[in-house]
């Protein structure tokens, strides 16, 4: 996966075709909703995590300096609009990452999170892609719109998959962590449950894994962010905010406009890669004709101010730090 390249022209051609035949960009959801009773809904085969050994982000001749960027979003309740916004903003995301030189070879994965206690599709995971195949992954996501209604969703199950079922050349070869963006408005459950892992992913665990333990494991592979957009049901809930603030600190991003999510992700990666500072990122948005600068600036200013000095950590297999070496931790 990830050997093709992004084409904005191909994206717009596909959009035009869908409009001409009256099709939506989320064909799998449309098909399932119109042809099957709800209790028979299931994850599309291409996104089913069960039995997956690993999702890979690998270098190729076309993309020799791959960087893994994962975007997993809650599709329950009020969050069901997120993938539709992301789909319309793919050109903005790739445009900033590539044209502005934030990342040489981004490989992006999309996935969806529900509630493993009650949903038919509690976890959906695409491939790391460099090109327009991302539209296929988004189109195959089941927008179930379920959830348990208890201010908790199965983010911890998604974290388990990303921690133990991904492999990335950016980390394995260059000691650089990937990026993981979770987009939601609820808390994770307190532990990864062995029963849910067995049923959804197929792994056998001897015992449950407490949330802080799986988060620590995940952060050895990814720099983890939680984006909480306004308009979501729990945006002003102190319990939810307190949960994520406690576990992720400045990596919690409160976003006043969901339509700015792609720009927020791109500028966050640019900051993390030290390709830009926040002001430069906002200038890039303005140059690109985006009207999201004020929203993105407000959302990312706490992160920008908190990043501080850079400490280079030891990389796998004796690799050292720097732009092509060890992992980067910011204090």
Closest CA to 112 of 219, 195, 28, 34: 28
* Domain-located, residue 1: no
Q: Across the chain, what does the average pLDDT equal?
A: 88
Print the domain residue range for 293: 8-330
The model's pLDDT over 117-142, given as tens digits with 9 standing for 90+, comes to 999 999 999 999 998 999 899 889 99
* Domain-located, residue 61: yes
pTM recorded for the entire structure = 0.89
For residues 142 and 43, the answer to whether their CB atoms sit within 8 Å is yes
* 265: Cβ contacts below 8 Å, ≥ 6 apart: 69, 71, 93, 181, 227
Residue 170 has pLDDT above 90, yes or no: yes
User: What CATH number is associated with residue 12?
Assistant: 3.40.50.410
* 131: Cβ contacts below 8 Å, ≥ 6 apart: 2, 4, 5, 6, 7
Q: Where is 188: in which H helix or E strand?
A: strand 187-188
Closest CA to 1 of 49, 63, 53, 52: 63
What pLDDT score does 2 carry?
A: 60
Q: What is the mean pLDDT of residues 72-91?
A: 84
* Domain-located, residue 3: no
> What is the tally of structural domains in the chain?
1
DSSP letter assigned to residue 157: H
What pLDDT score does 24 carry?
A: 78
* Domain-located, residue 172: yes
What pLDDT score does 294 carry?
A: 97
For residues 170 and 177, the answer to whether their CB atoms sit within 8 Å is yes
The model's pLDDT over 215-235, given as tens digits with 9 standing for 90+, comes to 999 999 999 999 999 877 778
């Amino acid at each position: 996966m990830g050997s093709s390249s992004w084409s904005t022209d191909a994206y717009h051609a596909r959009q035009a075709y869908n409009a001409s035949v009256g099709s939506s960009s989320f064909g799998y959801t449309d098909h399932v909703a119109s042809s099957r009773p709800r209790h028979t809904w299931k994850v599309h085969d291409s996104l089913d995590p069960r039995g997956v050994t690993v999702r890979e982000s690998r270098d190729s001749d076309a993309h020799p300096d791959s960087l893994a960027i994962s975007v997993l979003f809650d599709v329950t309740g009020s969050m069901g609009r997120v993938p539709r916004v992301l789909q319309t903003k793919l050109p903005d995301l790739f445009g900033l990452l590539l044209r502005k030189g934030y990342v040489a070879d981004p490989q992006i994965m999309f996935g969806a999170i529900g509630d493993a206690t009650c949903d038919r599709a509690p976890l959906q995971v695409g491939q790391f892609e460099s090109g327009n195949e991302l539209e296929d992954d988004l189109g195959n996501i089941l927008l179930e719109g379920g959830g348990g209604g208890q201010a908790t969703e199965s983010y911890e199950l998604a974290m388990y998959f990303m921690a133990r079922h991904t492999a990335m050349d950016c980390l394995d070869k260059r000691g650089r962590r990937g990026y993981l963006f979770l987009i939601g408005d609820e808390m994770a459950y307190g532990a990864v449950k062995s029963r849910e892992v067995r049923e959804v992913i197929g792994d056998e665990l001897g015992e449950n894994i407490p949330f802080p333990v799986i988060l620590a494991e995940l952060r050895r592979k990814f720099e983890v962010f939680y984006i909480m957009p306004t308009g979501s049901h729990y945006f002003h809930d102190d319990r939810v905010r307190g949960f994520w603030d406690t576990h992720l600190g400045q990596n919690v991003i409160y976003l006043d406009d969901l339509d700015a999510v792609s720009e927020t992700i791109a500028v966050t990666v640019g900051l993390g890669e030290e390709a830009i500072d926040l002001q430069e990122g906002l200038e890039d948005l303005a140059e690109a004709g985006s009207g999201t600068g004020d929203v993105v600036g407000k959302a990312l200013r706490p992160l920008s101010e908190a990043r501080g000095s850079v400490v280079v950590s030891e990389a796998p297999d004796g690799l050292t730090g720097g732009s092509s070496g060890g992992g980067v931790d910011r204090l």
